[in-house]
Amino acid sequence: MDRTASEVGSEPISVLASLGGLEIAALAGFVVGGASRKVPVLLDGVIAMAGALAAARLAPLSVGYMVAGHRSTEPGATAALEELDLAPLVDLELRLGEGTGAVLALPILQAAAKVLSEMATFDDAGVSSDQD
C-alpha cells in the first residue's frame, strides 16, 4: 500500500522505506559512509540531493562532508540545497544529467585541495605582516 509523507512520519528510515527508492537509500548510505571516513562527497542532481537529505536526517554531521557540485534547474534541487544550507560550486542552469555538474565541479575541488595542502603560509614564505 502506498502511503503519503504525512502518514509515514518523519523518521528517516521510515521515510526511505515508504517513499524512497533503493537508489536514494544507497546514496544516503554512501554519503554517511563518506562522512564516517572524513571523505567529502560531491553531490550532483536532484536524486543525489534526495539521498543527501536522508543522510542529513540519519547523521546530521554528514552535512559537513557534502559538497554541492552544481544547482540543477530542477526545483527540488534548489529546495534541497536550501534545506542542507549548501552553496553549489557552479550554477550554470544545467539539466543534462550523467553527472555533468560533478564533472565541471571536480577540478574546482581538486584545486582547492591543492591550495590547502601545498600553498605556503605567510610564515612559511617569510612574509611579514608588519606594515612598513
The active-site residue out of 82, 93, 98, 118 is 98
Give the model's pLDDT for residue 1.
44
Report whether 50 contacts 81 (CB < 8 A): no
Whether the pTM exceeds 0.95: the reply is: no
Cα gap 102→44, rounded to integer Å: 6
Q: Any bridge partners for residue 120, and if so which?
A: none
**Chunked mean pLDDT (size 10), the chain, 132 residues:** 51 73 90 96 91 93 96 89 95 78 92 90 78 56
Q: Is 98 a catalytic residue?
A: yes
Give the model's pLDDT for residue 131.
61
Alpha-carbon distances of 96 from 44, 52, 60, 100, rounded to whole Å: 11, 20, 30, 7
